[in-house]
Amino acid sequence: MSLITVGTMAFDAIETPFGKVNKIVGGSALYAAYAASYFVKPVQQISIIGYDFPDEELESLQQRGVQLEGVEKVADKKSFFWKGLYHQDMNTRDTLITDLNVLEDFDPRVPDNYQGAAFLMLGNLMPKLQISVIEQLKQKPRLIVLDTMNFWMETAMPDLEAVLKKVDLLMVNDSEARELTQQYSLIKAAKKIREMGPKYLIIKKGENGALLFHGDKVFFAPAFPLEEVFDPTGAGDTFAGGFIGYLAKSGDISFENMKKAIIAGSAMASFCVEKFGNTRLKELAKEELNDRIQLFRELTSFETGLDL
């Protein structure tokens, strides 16, 4: 089933304890599209780029079945640019530069041939723009997944509350879940968020895995224990793209299938962080992904029947 991914396509400058790169493509929708395209075609991209965005990157996406009719190219502005510095623990980072550039003018348009998409991934963006995409769709998708961040909680809370009422699944990290609800306990935060709209909730905990909540059910997926996280940039967006891509492939949005989708997304994200930017995602083979999913299973499975 077809999938629309909305978000940024950008340039990043990244410095980690292991190295630095001055200009590499990035952005939430770029990572999500690369990850989702492993599972489903077409991936219908909605984003905005400047005159400087590399053609070969667009071709690489198209070769993977990513449609770009919804990607606006601005002739006289540069692409969105972000520069970040990761600390030793790799879980915290400082944003050094945010040049919005084309993002200042972003008014996402849903092309006619995207209508009827069964899945919608709304990457982190101004909530007003996320609402605009939902409202342009003539037919409600089977599953709308929303990503957001603390910045919008602090600057656009009424809009964020409005979009929360229109989506099926919210994906946030643990500190965002706490900020959104003013609850320290993630279980209490999860209850409160689902009262705000989304029936499903995924709380991402970085190197400590992710939790899926629905009704009274909880599923926990560990992060893969990597010897070294080389560059965490895009891991969350890759997880999101892998998750919704996996669901869109099967069209099955049962809780059981969402568990598998989380494992697929986690495995994909564990590759993303092994090299700078999207380097690893571009070279990833299906066999590698399959092997890692098997390792995920071995990581947490234990024999039934404890002798108490």
Interface with a second copy by CB under 8 A: which residues?
38-39, 88-90, 184-188, 205, 208-209, 211, 218-222, 225-229, 246, 249-250, 256, 259-260, 263-264, 286, 289-290, 293, 297, 299-304, 306-308
Separation between Cα atoms, residue 213 and residue 195, nearest integer Å: 12
Spatial contact of 248 and 3, defined as CB atoms under 8 Å apart: yes
- Dump the DSSP string for 223-290: PP--S-----TTHHHHHHHHHHHHHHHHT--SHHHHHHHHHHHHHHHHHHTTSSTTHHHHH--HHHHH
> In whole angstroms, how close is the CB of 165 to a second copy at the nearest point?
25
To a second copy, the closest distance from the beta carbon of 225 in angstroms equals 6
How far are the Cα atoms of 40, 140, 151 from residue 83, in angstroms, in the given order? 31, 36, 17
**Cβ distance to a second copy smaller for residue 105 or 256:** 256
50 burial level (CB within 10 Å; 0-12, 13-18, 19+): buried
Q: E-strand spans in the chain?
A: 3-6, 10-16, 19-26, 43-49, 66-73, 80-86, 93-99, 119-122, 143-147, 169-173, 200-204, 210-214, 217-221
Helix (H, G, I), strand (E, B) or coil at 49: strand
Nearer to a second copy, 155 or 290 (CB): 290
**CB nearer to a second copy: pick between 136 and 150:** 150
Q: What are residue 49's DSSP bridge partners?
A: 73
Nearest CB to a second copy, comparing residues 48 and 262: 262
Comparing CB distances to a second copy, the nearer of 118 and 126 is 118
Report the nearest approach of a second copy to the CB of residue 220 (Å): 5
User: Shortest approach of a second copy to residue 302 CB, angstroms?
Assistant: 4
Judged by beta carbon, residue 62 or residue 290, the one nearer a second copy is: 290
Instruction: Please identify which residue in the block is written with the tokens 């690893």.
Output: 280
Cβ-proximal residues to 19 (8 Å cutoff; 6+ apart), any chain: 230, 276
Nearer of residues 110 and 180 to a second copy, judged by Cβ: 180
CB of 163 to a second copy, least distance (A): 26
300 with 263: CB under 8 angstroms?
A: no
| Integer Cα distance of 181 and 189 in angstroms | 6
Query: Least distance (Å) from a second copy to the CB of residue 292?
Result: 11
Q: How far is the CB of 250 from a second copy (least distance, A)?
A: 6
In whole angstroms, the minimum distance from the beta carbon of 249 to a second copy comes to 7
> Which CB, 75 or 308, lies closer to a second copy?
308
Structure tokens at 236: 């969350």
Backbone angles phi, psi at 54, to 5 degrees: -70, 130
Cα dihedral sign, 242-115-149-276: positive
